[in-house]
Structure 1
Amino acid sequence: MSRPVLADLTVGDVVATRAVELDRSTLVRYAGASGDFNPIHWDEGFATDVGLPGVIAHGMCTMGTVIGVVEDWAGDPAAIVRYGTRFTKPVPVPARGTAVVEVAATVGALDAEAGTARIDLAVTHDGAKVLGRAQALVRLS
Structure 2
Amino acid sequence: MTAADVGDELPPLSVRLTREDLIRYAGASLDFNKIHWNERIATGVGLPGVVAHGMLTMALACRLVTDWAGDPGAVVDYSVRFTRPVVVPDDDEGALVELTGKIAEKRDDGTVRIDITAKFEGKTVFTKATALVKLN
The answer to whether 1:108 aligns with 2:73 is no
Q: Report how far residue 10 of structure 1 moved.
A: 2.4
CA distance in 2, matches of 1:65, 1:30: 12
The answer to whether 1:80 aligns with 2:75 is yes
CA distance in 1, matches of 2:10, 2:36: 32
Provide Cα deviations, 1:46-96, integer angstroms capped at 9, x if missing partner.
111111111000000100122111111101111111111011100000111
CA distance in 2, matches of 1:17, 1:65: 12
- The CA RMSD measured in Å over matched residues stands at 1.0
TM-score calculated relative to the size of structure 1: 0.92
**Contact 1:12/1:108 (CA < 8 Å) preserved in 2?**
yes
Q: Report how far residue 15 of structure 1 moved.
A: 1.9
Secondary structure, in 3 states, of the residue corresponding to 1:14? coil
Moved over 3 A (4+): none
What residue is the counterpart of 2:94 in the other structure? 98
Q: Report how far residue 26 of structure 1 moved.
A: 0.9
CA distance in 2, matches of 1:98, 1:18: 16
Gaps of 5+ in 1: none
CA distance in 2, matches of 1:139, 1:4: 12
What residue is the counterpart of 1:60 in the other structure? 55
Match of 2:41 among 46, 59, 62: 46
Gaps of 5+ in 2: none
What residue is the counterpart of 1:23 in the other structure? 18
**Contact 1:44/1:55 (CA < 8 Å) preserved in 2?**
yes
The answer to whether 1:133 aligns with 2:128 is yes
Provide Cα deviations, 1:22-41, integer angstroms capped at 9, x if missing partner.
11111101111111111100
TM-score calculated relative to the size of structure 2: 0.95
CA distance in 1, matches of 2:125, 2:27: 23
